[in-house]
Amino acid sequence: MIASAISRGEVLTYLENFLDYNFDSLLKSVEDSWQPADLLPDSRFDNFLEEIKQLRERAKELSYDLVAVLIGDTITEEALPTYESWLMSTDGLTRDPNSGWMKWIRAWTAEENRHGDLLNRYLYLSGRVNMREMEASTQYLIADGFDLQTGNDPYRAFVYTSFQETATNISHRRVAALAKKSGDLMLAKLCGNIAADEARHAKAYKGFVEKIFEVDPNGMMMAFEDMMRKKIVMPAHYLRELGVNIGQTFGHFTDAAQRIGVYTSADYTDILEDLIKDWKIENMTGLNDASEKARDYVMALPARLRRVAERMRIPELQYKFRWIEG
Ligand SMILES: [Fe+2]
Ligand SMILES: [Fe+2]
């Protein structure tokens, strides 16, 4: 392995200035943020029960696959403690509570925390979900933990988050569109709000990687290649239901997502292509032999993935999740 001329710690310190300077455009203040309560019926008011009745009527029209995807999305949002501790374990971060990185992790976590709250509350009110089963899956996911395959490397972590935040933006946006089509405008708005947060997060993390490419193109390229070789593993991969073997639930969840087009293998490739474009991988200069090879691998990957995806078939069969009633 070729050592980078510049250490991860030095790069993160350099990035901290960029972070401080752009903080307000990358994350929102509490004052400027929506809260779950803004988007759901308010139990203090007399029309609450009537609103819930209507919410439940609309939720009845949502397809089985859509409800399954919403539940899986909710559980993965609810596993937020795991992402926070994962980010905190990144090498080279300044641990001073007033540092830019610590402020970033806290504020990012605080924004994300609203996502699980909002989705969870909607699903509870919808009448479509066996909440106990869903909660058990959430507890499993947090207790089991999941390996995002980044080691403690910040470069790999930021490739991961660039990818993952973009993927969540896409899936929440598509769920919003399907909810709208089904006549549930409340759910559509709620998922749209979450998607907008995810888009901002994706922009931030992609910006970090872009900055790293400027100062350490070789180190960053090797990290990008390594993550793409390992494949970006979604946290949903580790989903599990009570009494169901590990691995089964994810397969059915991802089938449901593919069937309704919320997140497909084509999306994975599209995201990769966008990252290649955004990070100007093709025209990057200053690379050594090893990272030239890494670039070649990454550049050739989208075409390869598309060939594989063409051969893949999505099962028609609907699985009966323990999360969903009836
Ligand atoms: Fe989120
Ligand atoms: Fe996010």
pLDDT tens for each residue of 159-177: 999 999 999 999 999 999 9
| pLDDT confidence of residue 118 | 98
DSSP for residue 235: G
Which ligand lies nearest the alpha carbon of 161? 2
pLDDT digits (tens, 9 = 90+) for 35-49: 999 999 999 999 999
Number of residues in the chain: 326
Cβ–Cβ < 8 Å for 195, 166: no
Q: How far is the CA of 112 from the centre of ligand 1 (A)?
A: 5
| Nearest-angstrom CA–CA distance, 314 and 60 | 25
pLDDT at 54 over 70: yes
Closest of 45, 54, 38 to residue 125, by C-alpha: 54
| Domain around 75 | 35-310
CATH of the domain at 261: 1.10.620.20
| Nearest-angstrom CA–CA distance, 147 and 141 | 11
10 within a domain of the structure (yes/no): no
315 within a domain of the structure (yes/no): no
Place 80 in a pLDDT band, splitting at 50, 70 and 90: very high
27 within a domain of the structure (yes/no): no
pLDDT digits (tens, 9 = 90+) for 254-306: 999 999 999 999 999 999 999 999 999 999 999 999 999 999 999 999 999 99
Q: How far is the CA of 316 from the centre of ligand 2 (A)?
A: 31
Q: How far is the CA of 34 from the centre of ligand 2 (A)?
A: 15
pLDDT digits (tens, 9 = 90+) for 100-127: 999 999 999 999 999 999 999 999 999 9
Q: Estimate to the nearest angstrom the gap between the alpha carbon of 144 and the chain centroid.
A: 18
92 within a domain of the structure (yes/no): yes
Residue 16, marked binder: no
Q: Dig out the tokens for 125 from the structure.
A: 């009110």
| pLDDT confidence of residue 1 | 46
| pLDDT confidence of residue 25 | 87
| pLDDT confidence of residue 287 | 96
Place of tokens 């593919």: 258
Q: Dig out the tokens for 115 from the structure.
A: 């996502």
Q: Dig out the tokens for 3 from the structure.
A: 């050592």
Residue 201, marked binder: yes
Which ligand lies nearest the alpha carbon of 198? 2
| Cβ neighbours of residue 117 closer than 8 Å, sequence gap 6 or more | 36
| Nearest-angstrom CA–CA distance, 186 and 53 | 13
DSSP for residue 317: P
In DSSP terms, 129 is beta-bridged to: 324
Q: How far is the CA of 48 from the centre of ligand 1 (A)?
A: 27
Q: Mind telling me the catalytic residues?
A: 34, 77, 112, 115, 165, 168, 197-198, 201
Residue 172, marked binder: no
pLDDT at 15 over 90: yes
Residues 204, 210, 215, 220, CA torsion sign = positive
Q: Dig out the tokens for 240 from the structure.
A: 């599990």
Q: What is the mean pLDDT of residues 237-265?
A: 92
| Nearest-angstrom CA–CA distance, 295 and 301 | 10
Q: How far is the CA of 108 from the centre of ligand 2 (A)?
A: 8
Which ligand lies nearest the alpha carbon of 199? 2
| pLDDT confidence of residue 21 | 84
Place 252 in a pLDDT band, splitting at 50, 70 and 90: very high
**b/e 279-318 (16+ beta carbons within 10 angstroms → b):** bebeebeebeeebeebbebbeebbeebeeeeeeeeeeeee
150 within a domain of the structure (yes/no): yes
170 within a domain of the structure (yes/no): yes
Cβ–Cβ < 8 Å for 233, 293: no
11 within a domain of the structure (yes/no): no
| pLDDT confidence of residue 200 | 96
5 within a domain of the structure (yes/no): no
| Cβ neighbours of residue 155 closer than 8 Å, sequence gap 6 or more | 8, 209, 212, 216, 219, 220, 223, 224
Residue 115, marked binder: yes
Give how many domains the chain has, as a whole number.
1
Residue 252, marked binder: no
